[in-house]
Amino acid sequence: MKPRIEILDKLRPHVFKTLSTHYKSLDNCKYADLRLGISEFKSASSENGQSKDVTDDYDASFGVRVIAGEMSSWGFYGQSLGRNDLKIKKITSLIITGINIAYERAIANAKKKREFKKKADSLTAVRLAKIKVCQDTVPADFEIDPRKVSLQKVLKTSMNVSRQMKELDSSVLYTATGIRTGITRELFCSSEGANIDQALPLTQGVVYVAAQKGESSPEVCYDYIGDLRGWEIIEGKNCYNLSFLDFALERTKDTIELSGAEFLKTSKGEVVVVTDPHFNTLLVHEIVGHPTESDRILKMETAYAGRSWLYKSRDENQLGNRIASPLVNAFSDPTVMGYGYYKYDAEGTPASRINVIKDGILKTFLNGRENAAILGHEPNGSMRATTSAMAPIVRMTNTAFGPGKKNPKSIIKEVKDGYYIVSHRIPSISESRENFRISAKKVYKIENGKLVKLYRGGGIMANSKEFLMSIDAVGNDFKMFPIPNCGKGQPMQIMRVGNGGPTLRGKARLAGC
Amino acid sequence: MIKTEDLRTAVTDALKYIKKHKDVIDAEVFASWNDLITIRLNYTSDIPCNGVHEPKSIQSYGLGILATVKRGNRIEVGFGSVTNDLTKEGVLDALTKAKRNRVYDPDFKTLPDQIDKPAFKNYHDKSVMKIRSEETVDLGWKALDGALKALNDRGHRKSIIVGGDVTILRERMAIKTTKGIDDFDETTTLTANITVMIENKNVKGTGWSMGTHLATFKPEAAGREAAESAMRTIGGRKIKSGKHNVIFGNQPLTDIASNVLIPSLNLASVNASNTPFLGMLGQEIASRNLYIYDDGSIKGETGSKKITCEGVPTGRTDLIKNGTLVGFLANNYFARKFKNNLYHQIPRNGFRYSTNGRDYKNKAGISPTNVIIGGNKETTRDSLLKQVNNGIYIGRIWYTYAINGLAMGDFTSTIIADSFLIKGGKISSPLKPNTIRINTNIKHILNNIIGITKKKRSTLVWGSGEVVIAPEIAISNVQLDNIAGFLG
């Protein structure tokens, strides 16, 4: 019998008590928190209509953060949990061991930090900004319970979709689909008294299609639907308002059409580009979402994902400055539906909407409690981890360009000579996100307000600030899309985030093959 | 900590138990214990910081069963796993899941056969298996100390960033199958990847140290190397957009290999029609000077393992030989599916890697081990510089992606550190970081090789599991485009 998420009803008081009492027994332990999560899920994958894999299982893990020592320092411990570990006696013993290991690391680290302080005076004790300490229970919200959908149904849906994609045209070389549906429930307890129980469902469908015409390179498409909801996502209640089958067939038709299209050539200079909401999903992710994460602001990601073009130092940064045209707004909001939805972040901070760019002016950064304390900002609840066994890091949530007032059709119609950039594909960003090249699935030539020709293998490149400043039209067609695979941290954590925006018009260089 | 003996006993007992189930035709039992310790560095001279930010670890152990089951006239295959449980009840649970999760997959032929003998015995470091918390934390501070000492010696105390990590991976596994495979493996891997910036000079440098044994692991040297590299590039200049002859150093070649080239030389990519080399096996795809192979049996390399996660001894898989495409990385599943396209290579790349090592929760996918890139006619760095004469030496790139999908082969990346102008066959002034984007295609790289150095270095890039034993390689006419600098 596999463990159910309901097991946390029984464990919750014991987990809270164990953390609260054991923390007090440790010398010089300033803070401790614990996340214990369990997810139940079903998944299936298929290729060309053939079944490949099904799973009906659970995952459980916990992670402990401790701040201890005279010169307060962090220590962390995480581990996976099995069925037998989810019994009161066993989990109590594992949590105590986990706290002890994290504490030992924090003490060793604090000792070294104090020794080093003599030659490195910026070393400082860890300080967390104050938050409202919450006790709450947040149940999962769905129309069709993922746990009540049979494994056979998940598999049959996956097989049927990949079969119909493959049968659409002889140019289709290969199709694959994957579906995952389930619920994750996580407890958060802290030595400050937080006691939060939050459950989130997740349903996602992934399609992959490769098509080839003649001797040309195969055209490949990878895309997904998904949200923090139940099986209704697969049946059509998603951001595309399409069933998984219709979504997959639409992507396949696009791929077939593109496989016969001409390759886009790189332009010598800037051209007028109209970018659609799906393309702007990745654009806002890369040039607004990541550079406003406060760990990048504080240079903590320099060795990995880079710094931020928005912040050089306390004295030289873009806070309060114009970084975009007055038409541009951007926000990060975990309280609205999307892949970045939650009520509390991984530090127990209540979620809230953050206006990142207001009328083209940079307003603030996404943060956690430690970074907020360093920057002197209010904590805004943007810490997450991929699993409970991993240390939380700053993450964008549902981060998007805000809507404008213009009809997207008229945004295109006003263009005499330009390009319409449709649906994002792959990004490449410079070290501080000050420059980007992002490929699109489709690029159309616009002549006298009309789409006259389709190209493949294209996208745009520009300096981030120059592009944002060039925006002269913002559509009223706002949409939020799921991004399931944002990689960050060491060890790498793959996180789901929501991104989106309306149609935008600006200037960039075309990047072709 | 779970001992290897415990894992061996578990897989033996499990297989005995599974054999009693008449409907099971074949089974593979894999058990593992993994511990990934990460000591992350964050030192900023002008912003309050922790130095060593967070010593942390993720630990897991368990057992997975892949079983083929007879259902009427056809064979179905299923996989199930259990966490933190090596008991008979755990085995029953995993087997029940494997049966519940079974599917009919016509591409699944059979489990791997016993092939040859592994090259290794007892090659891991017992002292790493026993390492204490305090010692692991100390390794992180040593890396920081190495960087700060080098910077302070040259008077750099402000506008400093030191980041990166020291990572220790401890893995134990055992496997037993109805096809006669019965083996185990223990590995210890240590890596230090350090980045240093002097921000007001707009320079960044990198240094790294990798090994399998604590005694030879030098995180302080990685810190020092990163600092020295940053200081060497002070006073960087911009260059004009256009086509340039370039030398890719160890790190950029590894970045291109790990993100574009090696994924294209993988049978899973062939299966998905997602490689620029589709249908090109046996054809010349690169300069005749170039060879590339994967070899998980090189002593002392951090990508080495005794056996794969399918129980096959690791060894050499040739990918490109004299410029000709001769093979693809494979696991058992894809090797059997594509056996007519493979020149009958042994599948030596079936691994179950996840974030923290060889994961009992996964079926075996395809992962590289140590990828060796070299030339039939190799040369020295000085000679390579002379051959290029005027061009760019690129020492570190970032965010390398196959921008239009792997199948097209186009890729882009930005030059972020450790780079110089080459003038008259010699390293000249430094290149200003973050001012150049590379826009090219992997086929262009492979077919425009000017030369390859004999000296190679084991290199690992962020987010990749494999080690690339990389030379420096000169390429003609690479498109480089100017971009804005930091806060530009």
Q: How far is CA A102 from the centre of its chain?
A: 27
pLDDT, tens digit, for every residue of B11-66?
Answer: 999 999 999 999 999 999 999 999 999 999 999 999 999 999 999 999 999 999 99
Q: What pTM value is reported for the model?
A: 0.96
DSSP, residue by residue, A68-80: ETTTTEEEEEEEE
List domains and CATH numbers for chain A.
7-197 (3.30.2290.10), 270-511 (no CATH)
Cβ–Cβ contact B357 with A under 8 A? no
- Residue whose token pair is 């990572």: B167
Residue numbers in A near B38 (CB within 8 A) = 490-491
pLDDT, tens digit, for every residue of B71-82?
Answer: 988 999 999 999
Partners of A361 in the β-ladder: A322, A358
CA distance B414 to B416: 6
Residue B474 φ/ψ, nearest 5 degrees: -100, 135
From A100, A64, A27, A124, select the one nearest B52 (Cα to Cα). A124
CA distance B18 to B416: 54
Nearest by CB: A437 against B42, B79, B403 = B403
| Strand positions, DSSP E, B3-153 | 24-44, 51-71, 74-83
CA distance B192 to B169: 12
The dihedral over CA atoms of B371, B374, B376, B382, expressed in degrees to the nearest 10, equals -170
pLDDT, tens digit, for every residue of A4-18?
Answer: 999 999 999 999 999
Q: Which pairing describes strands B160-177 and B182-198: parallel, antiparallel, or unpaired?
A: antiparallel
pLDDT above 70 coverage of chain B, percent: 99
CA distance B271 to B347: 15
CA distance A477 to B486: 33
Nearest by CB: A119 against B133, B134, B148 = B148
Residue A309 to residue B487, Cβ atoms within 8 A = yes
User: Tokens for B266?
Assistant: 């993988």
Residue A435 to residue B103, Cβ atoms within 8 A = no
Partners of B103 in the β-ladder: B77
Q: How confident is the model at residue B121 (pLDDT cuts 50, 70, 90)?
A: confident
CA distance B334 to B368: 14
Partners of A56 in the β-ladder: A42
Compute the mean pLDDT over every residue in chain B, rounded to the nearest whole number.
95
Whether the pLDDT of residue B487 is over 80: the answer is no
Partners of A196 in the β-ladder: A136, A188
Query: How close A299 comes to chain B (CA, Å)?
Result: 7
- Residue whose token pair is 């690479």: B478
Task: Name the least confident of B109-113, B114-118, B437-441.
Answer: B114-118
Nearest by CB: A74 against B50, B83, B195 = B50
pLDDT, tens digit, for every residue of A157-171?
Answer: 999 999 999 999 999
User: Tokens for B254?
Assistant: 């590894």
Whether the pLDDT of residue A185 is over 50: the answer is yes
Query: How close A336 comes to chain B (CA, Å)?
Result: 30
pLDDT, tens digit, for every residue of B217-237?
Answer: 999 999 999 999 999 999 999
- Residue whose token pair is 């957009």: B241
The predicted pLDDT at position B466 comes to 87
CB B210 within 8 A of CB B458: yes
- For residue B256, the surrounding DSSP H or E stretch is helix B250-256
Nearest by CB: B48 against A374, A429, A487 = A374
Q: How many CB atoms lie within 10 A of CB A254?
A: 20
CB B196 within 8 A of CB B205: yes
The answer as to CATH 3.30.2290.10 being correct for domain B4-232 is: yes
From A204, A169, A222, select the one nearest A441 (Cα to Cα). A222
Cβ–Cβ contact B105 with A under 8 A? yes
Tabulate helix, strand, coil % of chain B (nearest 5).
25, 40, 35
From B196, B192, B130, select the one nearest B167 (Cα to Cα). B192
Nearest by CB: A109 against B137, B399, B434 = B137
User: Tokens for B442?
Assistant: 């992997």
The predicted pLDDT at position A513 comes to 81
Long-range residue pairs from B22-25, CB within 8 A, at least 24 positions apart, any chain: B23/B69, B23/B70, B23/B99, B24/B67, B24/B68, B24/B69, B24/B95, B25/B67, B25/B68, B25/B69, B25/B70, B25/B75, B25/B178
To probe the interface with B, which of A31, A40, A43, A57 has the most B CB atoms within 10 Å? A57
Helix intervals (H) in B36-163: 88-100, 126-129, 133-153
Query: In sequence order, what are the residues at sequence separation of 6 or more whose Cβ sits closer than 8 angstroms to the Cβ of residue A473?
Result: A274, A327, A404, A406, A411, A414, A503, A504, A505
Cβ–Cβ contact B443 with A under 8 A? no
To probe the interface with A, which of B61, B100, B103 has the most A CB atoms within 10 Å? B103
Residue numbers in A near B403 (CB within 8 A) = 425-426, 428, 437, 439, 459, 511
Query: In sequence order, what are the residues at sequence separation of 6 or more whose Cβ sits closer than 8 angstroms to the Cβ of residue A227?
Result: A202, A203, A233, A238, A239, A337, A338, A339, A482
Answer positive or negative: Cα dihedral of A316, A318, A322, A324. Answer: positive
Residue B131 φ/ψ, nearest 5 degrees: -60, 140
Query: In sequence order, what are the residues at sequence separation of 6 or more whose Cβ sits closer than 8 angstroms to the Cβ of residue A187?
Result: A8, A11, A12, A15, A16, A34, A35, A36, A37, A195, A196, A197
From B194, B84, B49, B436, select the one nearest A90 (Cα to Cα). B84
Cβ–Cβ contact A31 with B under 8 A? no
Q: How confident is the model at residue B248 (pLDDT cuts 50, 70, 90)?
A: very high
The predicted pLDDT at position B488 comes to 41
**How many residues are given for chain A?**
513
Q: Where are the domains of chain B?
A: 4-232, 242-482
Answer positive or negative: Cα dihedral of B131, B137, B143, B148. Answer: negative
Query: How close B61 comes to chain A (CA, Å)?
Result: 8
Residues 277-316 of B with CB under 8 A from A: 278
pLDDT, tens digit, for every residue of B308-367?
Answer: 999 999 999 999 999 999 999 999 999 999 987 766 679 999 999 998 899 999 999 999
To probe the interface with B, which of A40, A300, A367 has the most B CB atoms within 10 Å? A300
Residue A301 to residue B56, Cβ atoms within 8 A = no
Compute the mean pLDDT over every residue in chain A, rounded to the nearest whole number.
97
Nearest by CB: A174 against B82, B84, B273 = B273
Q: How confident is the model at residue B462 (pLDDT cuts 50, 70, 90)?
A: confident
The predicted pLDDT at position B486 comes to 55
Query: In sequence order, what are the residues at sequence separation of 6 or more whose Cβ sits closer than 8 angstroms to the Cβ of residue B341?
Result: B270, B281
CB B217 within 8 A of CB B188: no
Residue B272 to residue A176, Cβ atoms within 8 A = yes
Residue numbers in A near B43 (CB within 8 A) = 120, 122-123
Q: What is the ipTM of this complex?
A: 0.95
Cβ–Cβ contact A390 with B under 8 A? yes
CB B82 within 8 A of CB A3: no
Cβ–Cβ contact A124 with B under 8 A? yes
CA distance B369 to B295: 6
Mean pLDDT for B154-172 is 97
CA distance A462 to A470: 11
Q: Which pairing describes strands A135-138 and A195-211: parallel, antiparallel, or unpaired?
A: parallel
H, E, C per residue of B354-394:
ECCEECCCCCCEECCCEEEEEECCEECHHHHHHHHCCEEEE
pLDDT, tens digit, for every residue of A112-133?
Answer: 999 999 989 999 999 999 999 9
CA distance B186 to B305: 8
Q: Which pairing describes strands B357-358 and B353-354: parallel, antiparallel, or unpaired?
A: antiparallel
DSSP B176: E
Residues 230-249 of A with CB under 8 A from B: none
H, E, C per residue of A436-475:
EEEEEEEEEEEECCEEEEEEECCEEEEEHHHHHHHCCEEE
Whether the pLDDT of residue A361 is over 70: the answer is yes
| Strand positions, DSSP E, A130-237 | 135-138, 172-190, 195-211, 219-227
**Amino acid type, A54:** V
- For residue B451, the surrounding DSSP H or E stretch is strand B449-453
Residue A490 to residue B58, Cβ atoms within 8 A = no
Question: What 3-state class would DSSP assign to A242?
Answer: coil
From A380, A447, A462, select the one nearest A414 (Cα to Cα). A447
Tabulate helix, strand, coil % of chain A (nearest 5).
25, 40, 35
CA distance B261 to B437: 19
Query: How close A202 comes to chain B (CA, Å)?
Result: 20
User: Tokens for B369?
Assistant: 């081990």
Residue B55 to residue A109, Cβ atoms within 8 A = yes
Query: How close A485 comes to chain B (CA, Å)?
Result: 13
Residues 241-280 of B with CB under 8 A from A: 271-274, 276, 278
Nearest by CB: A490 against B38, B401, B407 = B38
